[in-house]
Each structure stands twice: as structure tokens, then as C-alpha cells.
Amino acid sequence: MSAAVYKVPQDAEARAKINRSTYEQWYAESIDNPEAFWSEHGKRIDWFKPYTKVKNTSFEGDVSIKWFEDGLTNVSYNCIDRHLDKRGDQVAIIWEGDDPADDKKITYRELHDAVCRLANVMKDNGVKKGDRVTIYMPMIAEAAYAMLACARIGAIHSIVFGGFSPDALAGRIVDAASTFIITSDEGLRGGKKVPLKVNTDKAIEIAKKQGADVANVLVVKRTGADVAWHEGRDIAYEEAVAKASATCEPEQMNAEDPLFILYTSGSTGKPKGVLHTTGGYLVYASMTHEYVFDYHDGDIYWCTADVGWVTGHSYIVYGPLANGATTLMFEGVPNYPSPARFWEVVDKHQVNIFYTAPTAIRALMGAGNDHVTKTSRESLRTLGSVGEPINPEAWEWYYNIVGDKRCPIVDTWWQTETGGILITPLPGAIDLKPGSATLPFFGVKPELVDAEGKVLEGATDGNLCIADSWPGQMRTVYGDHERFIQTYFSAYKGKYFTGDGCRRDADGYYWITGRVDDVINVSGHRMGTAEVESALVAHESVSEAAVVGYPHDVKGQGIYCYVTLMGGVEPSDELKKDLVKHVRNEIGPIASPDKIQFAPGLPKTRSGKIMRRILRKIAEDDFGALGDTSTLADPAVVDDLIEHRENRK
């Protein structure tokens, strides 16, 4: 842990919308009187019918979360229409292609045109308010059009990351009972093509067997690849939008009408459909975007995430556009054509605010400083980090080399479930400590609790809970409210449990230490160990599997798999390769196992529970501290696992 403190730079403070005393005053108000605080800040978005009720939330019993519940609004209207008078000709989206020669700028007026046309194409094909639309797209502007078009007509979008396999896509289509899919012929990342339409066709076949009924697939041309065409089902985007009307009135949505579903991994079972609603989500996404990045009118803002993750939803599309910002959408990867790409794009588009993930920072740090220092980066003012704990070395490099010691780093802690940033510095208000997400945002009440649920005070370690609701919070697990209650509100009565461990220091700063459940974080992507295990046991040669994370220099955590083979199957390197391929096919490349160890047996308690604590220690090559193994059914298996460990230092 780093002891260094970086004071708020004077010019950052002078420029900032929120300084330290405003932060303290607003924070106190937001906790002492959330009704009054959010009643005021709810007005930052436009309402067709203003709300009279502000907060109606309970973390007990059936758990019910409602914000601004009698207000009527529309997210697409707030992200586009309301800006047209003042900023019709301002650039809304700068699109930077995978190929550095490929870019384009879309003004708010052009965005309005594109979104209305697409909304009409959906309507003309029978998509109605409340229907679920699956979006499986590369990082092209049409992905943002698709989100906003859904929001405009009240359809609920479910974006599936373009790196997911047909199986993973099928599962999400089935769970959401989507009837309409938007995809593209192919994606393009780092010069490589991603067969999105081929995957979609496969996914629909799989989903059909599980009862899904997909009526239409709207296909955007990206690479122009020759793709199979299903007459009557598939629709060519370019032809359809050219014919469609460019006028589409935004649907009047209740604040609590669903906006989107986004699937995320938990410690058990299938990925959960995290459901976010309309009013509270947009208020929270836009407010955090403005204050956390100290966004000012005219700034060029770039978040490098993919729209397939929540960061892309809240901080590429909804937050920035609600604020009338210019948001940059990047199709490519950090190291293509070279590790200088990010900084070249920063210079090319004069980016002021840059938001990325620690895994990218670590990878670029490894590529050497020259790629950075040969660029100017003078436009940069604020840097951001999200997705996993940032180690102090990477933080210092980001601060000193990328930001030339000028730019505050906002290390933003949040989750798919939280809709927006919960713990973070504000660049003009909060002194920084490398590796700490620092202090809570307005309205957020963190609590550290011990295993028994006792609330711990002062400087301490504990499980991170949030004691009361904030407007951006998820409302339910789509189609399974009981699972919502069980997952987030059953461990500690009356509190939202985040699944993260955390330390609070003597200054009240929060330091997220990582997940305390069976979720691992690989390059900022959340993965349930159970998902990888179920992919492994689906292989004909595998009888049992246990998966744990281990520290990885670039990815943050790597995936370590213990695999027990079926009787008669011989272990081999070939089989290992086949298992890696198999997991990639089942879930996607982001779930590729880093290490596979064949294990004749797994350490289990007498009641049959796998002791993951032990497996984690062995994967970390730290078996000197295995702790109590006396409850194991067969302690001898541990010796074999240690002897054949893959991570020998």
C-alpha cells in the first residue's frame, strides 16, 4: 500500500465545479436529507411530467426500489432532442475506427436523424414498448443509435459483448425472450475480423431449441463481408433506415419503466440479467459523469470501454449524451497498430478527459515509455480508472508518464448493479492516494461489516455494503426478483452487499481489496468461477473442475483451472489445448484458462464442499499458509496438487 498523498492541483481546484467544501456540504445534505437532495438534482434531466415523489425504497423484505416514481420522461429525448436548439451542430459522437485512417463525427442533429429512423424501423417491424431487443455489435456509432432508438420507443435493450460466443449469446436471448436482434456483418478489432453475423445465426439456432422465437435480425454493414441471409428474417440496416421516416416522437416513459438489461456474472449459476430503469438511472449517470470527471461544456471526453459492459452504457452513451457532451467511441484496441494508439488518438481529437481500465494501463506500461512520451497529450486534464483495483505502480505510471504529473486520476469504484460510480475522488476536491477509490459520491453510504454483519467503525477491514439506496441502483434481476433479494440483500439484513472486500484508513478513504465471493476479475471483465467450471465439465473428458483466480501481472487476475478427468482419459498437453479451445467456444475468448492442472482429486470437506481457499493458495504458489486442512475428507490430495502446481515461482 502506498502512503503517498497527491494534493488537488491548484488549477484543478480553480476550474472545478465541486471543491472540497462543496463536496462536504453536498455530501452531508445528501445523507441527512436524501429526499430534498435528490428532489433538487432530479431536475437535471427534463421531465414530460415532473415527479412529486422522490424516494420510495426498502432493502428489507421483498426489497423495493423506486425513484421519482410518478415522473414521466424519455432517455433518448434527454440525450438528444433537448440539446438540438443549442447544440444541433455540435459533435455528439466522435467515432475512431480500428484503422487510424478511419473516423467520423456525428452531430446532435445527425444523431437525432439516425436514431429516429432506426426507431421507426423497429416499430415498423413490430417492436413495441417493453419488448426486449438484443444488441450484439462492434464499437460502431450504430451501437449507440441502437441503444437510443430502443430507449426512444420504450424497448428494453440487452447488449451482449461482441466477444461472447454463440452459446453465451443464445443464453441471453433466451433469458430475455428477445424477438429482435441488432448485429453487424463482422466486427473489426486490432485488424482482426469478428464473425458477428455467423455467431448470431448459430446463437439463434441454439436459442430456438430452448424456446426462443427471434422474428428479425437487423444487420449493419461494417466490413461488407458476404454473410448468409435469411429472407423474411434478416433486414439490411442501410436500406431500411434510408426508407424510414426521420420523425419519431419519444415515448412517454414512467421513471420506473425498464431501460435496459445487462447480464453479469455472479458467484453461482447463470449470469444474471441486471435490470436498470429510466429516471433514476439517467439522473445518476449524468450527474456522476459531470462531477466525477469535472466535465465542462466543450470538453472532449473519451471512455475506452466497450458498450457491451456497463461502463460503456453509463459513461460512453447515457451520461455524456445526457450532458450534451462530445463523447469518443473507439472501435479498436490499445496496442494496434502500436502501443502509442491511445495517445495518438488523444492528440488527434484533442481529448480532455480520458477514462480507461488498469489492465490496459499495465499492458501499455509494459510496452515502454517511448510510445507515450513521443506524443503531446497536452489536451489531457483528467484521467480515470475503472474495473478493478489499480496497483500503485500502474497508478504512478499513469499519473507521471501519461498525465505528465498534471492530471488528477479518478479511480472510480462501481458495479454493473450500481448503474454509476459510487466511490471516487472528485478531481478538484479530493486529495489522491494511489490505489484508493477515496470517498463516496453524493448519496452513497458505504459501510464495512464483519462476517456476522456487525458494522465496523473507524480504520478497519470489512465487507463492503451500502446502507441506503441511490437513484442509479439496479431494481431487480430480470425475471427473478427472488434471486435479486438472495444475492444482494440476504447476507446482511437491510443492506446492499457488493461482494467486494474493502479497507477504510484513518482518513476515511476506501481501498477496495477485490471480490470476497467466487467472482474473478480478468482484465476488468467479471467472471463467475462457476461459469468456467460448468463450461469445463461440459467437455466429454472432464468429470470435475474447480476454477480460481491468481494474481496476474497484466490481467489483474488469471484463470487457474483444476480439472479431474473421466476414468480412462489420459492427461496430455493436447487435451489442455483442447480444453482451452472448448472454454473459448462455450463462453468467449475472455474466459480462456491461463493454467490448467490435471488433478486426480480435489480437496473437499466431508460434506463434499470444495475448499477453494486451499486451491487459491496453491494457484498463488503460497502453500506454506494453507491454514486448517483438518476438515478435509482426504488430506492427501493436497500433497499431489502442490507437487504438480502450474505456478511454480
For residue 195, which phi and psi values (nearest 5 degrees)? -80, 75
Q: Which is nearer to ligand 6R9, 188 or 512 (CB)?
A: 512
**Residues placed in the known binding site for Mg(2+):** 537, 539, 542
Q: Which is nearer to ligand 6R9, 200 or 557 (CB)?
A: 557
The region of 166-174, 288-296, 495-503, 588-596 touching ligand 6R9 under the rule CB under 6 A is: 495-503
Given a contact cutoff of 8 angstroms between Cβ atoms, the answer to whether 435 and 508 are in contact is no
* Amino acid letter, 359: T
What are the residue ranges of helices labelled H in 538-645? Answer: 573-586, 612-619, 636-643
Residues 547-586, mask of contacts with ligand 6R9 (x by CB under 6 A): ----------------------------------------
The region of 150-158, 323-331, 405-413, 563-571 touching ligand 6R9 under the rule CB under 6 A is: 405-413
For position 520 contacting ligand 6R9 by CB under 6 A, the verdict is no
Q: Which of 98, 290, 331, 411 binds ligand 6R9 (CB under 6 A)?
A: 411
**Residues placed in the known binding site:** 189-192, 311, 335, 387-389, 411-416, 500, 515, 523, 526, 537, 539, 542, 584
Least distance to ligand 6R9, CB of residue 499, Å: 6
Radius of gyration for the alpha carbons in the chain, expressed in angstroms and rounded: 24
- Go through the chain and tell me how many residues it has: 649
**Residues placed in the known binding site for ATP:** 387-389, 411-416, 500, 515, 526
Q: Which of 287, 372, 437, 579 binds ligand 6R9 (CB under 6 A)?
A: 437
CB atoms within 10 A of CB 356: 23
The region of 111-119, 195-203, 414-422, 469-477 touching ligand 6R9 under the rule CB under 6 A is: 414-422
Residues 245-274, mask of contacts with ligand 6R9 (x by CB under 6 A): -------------------x----------
What are the residue ranges of helices labelled H in 251-373? Answer: 279-292, 310-312, 319-322, 341-349, 358-366, 370-373
Residues 355-394, mask of contacts with ligand 6R9 (x by CB under 6 A): ------------------------------xxxxx-----
Q: 512, exposed or middle or buried, with CB in 10 Å at 0-12, 13-18, 19+? A: buried
For position 597 contacting ligand 6R9 by CB under 6 A, the verdict is no
For position 430 contacting ligand 6R9 by CB under 6 A, the verdict is no
Q: Which is nearer to ligand 6R9, 199 or 311 (CB)?
A: 311
d(CA 141, CA 135) in angstroms, rounded, equals 13
d(CA 55, CA 35) in angstroms, rounded, equals 6
Q: Which is nearer to ligand 6R9, 42 or 420 (CB)?
A: 420
Cα–Cα distances in angstroms (integers) from residue 276 to residues 14, 139, 557, 562, in the given order:
36, 22, 28, 36
Segment 452 to 471, residues that bind ligand 6R9, using CB under 6 A: none
Least distance to ligand 6R9, CB of residue 600, Å: 33
Which residue matches cell numbers 470538453?
Answer: 299
* CA 290, chain centre distance (Å): 19
Q: Which is nearer to ligand 6R9, 359 or 498 (CB)?
A: 498
The region of 279-287, 303-311, 442-450, 452-460 touching ligand 6R9 under the rule CB under 6 A is: 303-311
Query: Which grid coordinates belong to 224?
Result: 461488407
Which residue matches cell numbers 493436447?
Answer: 574
Given a contact cutoff of 8 angstroms between Cβ atoms, the answer to whether 188 and 607 are in contact is no
Q: Which of 355, 414, 478, 510 binds ligand 6R9 (CB under 6 A)?
A: 414
Residues 57, 58, 63, 66, Cα dihedral to 10°: -10
Question: Of all helices (H) and strands (E), which one includes residue 379?
Answer: none
Least distance to ligand 6R9, CB of residue 404, Å: 22
* CA 631, chain centre distance (Å): 38
Q: Which is nearer to ligand 6R9, 180 or 397 (CB)?
A: 397
Least distance to ligand 6R9, CB of residue 410, Å: 9
Given a contact cutoff of 8 angstroms between Cβ atoms, the answer to whether 645 and 597 are in contact is yes
338: Cα within 13 Å, side-chain hemisphere: 10
CB atoms within 10 A of CB 99: 13
Query: Which grid coordinates belong to 108?
Result: 446532435
Q: Which is nearer to ligand 6R9, 240 or 429 (CB)?
A: 429
Q: 258, exposed or middle or buried, with CB in 10 Å at 0-12, 13-18, 19+? A: buried
For position 276 contacting ligand 6R9 by CB under 6 A, the verdict is no
**Residues placed in the known binding site for CoA:** 189-192, 311, 335, 523, 584
Residues contacting ligand 6R9: total by CB under 6 A: 24
For position 160 contacting ligand 6R9 by CB under 6 A, the verdict is no
Given a contact cutoff of 8 angstroms between Cβ atoms, the answer to whether 423 and 437 are in contact is yes
Which residue matches cell numbers 475448499?
Answer: 611
3-state helix, strand, coil in the chain (%, to 5): 35, 25, 40
For position 499 contacting ligand 6R9 by CB under 6 A, the verdict is yes
Least distance to ligand 6R9, CB of residue 466, Å: 12
Least distance to ligand 6R9, CB of residue 59, Å: 18
| Peptide linkage before 593 cis (omega within 30 of 0) | no
**Concatenated DSSP letters for 211-270?**
T----EEEEE-SS-------TTTEEEHHHHHHHS-S--PPP-EETTSEEEEEEE--SSSS
d(CA 295, CA 349) in angstroms, rounded, equals 16
For position 617 contacting ligand 6R9 by CB under 6 A, the verdict is no
* SS3 category, 547: strand
Q: Which is nearer to ligand 6R9, 51 or 497 (CB)?
A: 497
Phi-psi category of 542—alpha, beta or left, where left has phi over 0 and alpha has psi -120 to 50? beta
Q: Which of 67, 108, 413, 488 binds ligand 6R9 (CB under 6 A)?
A: 413
Least distance to ligand 6R9, CB of residue 516, Å: 9
For position 415 contacting ligand 6R9 by CB under 6 A, the verdict is yes
For position 201 contacting ligand 6R9 by CB under 6 A, the verdict is no
For position 395 contacting ligand 6R9 by CB under 6 A, the verdict is no
For position 416 contacting ligand 6R9 by CB under 6 A, the verdict is yes
Q: Which is nearer to ligand 6R9, 258 or 425 (CB)?
A: 425
The region of 52-60, 92-100, 308-316, 326-334 touching ligand 6R9 under the rule CB under 6 A is: 308-316
Contact positions toward ligand 6R9, by CB under 6 A? 264, 309-311, 385-389, 411-416, 437, 498-500, 512, 514-515, 521, 526
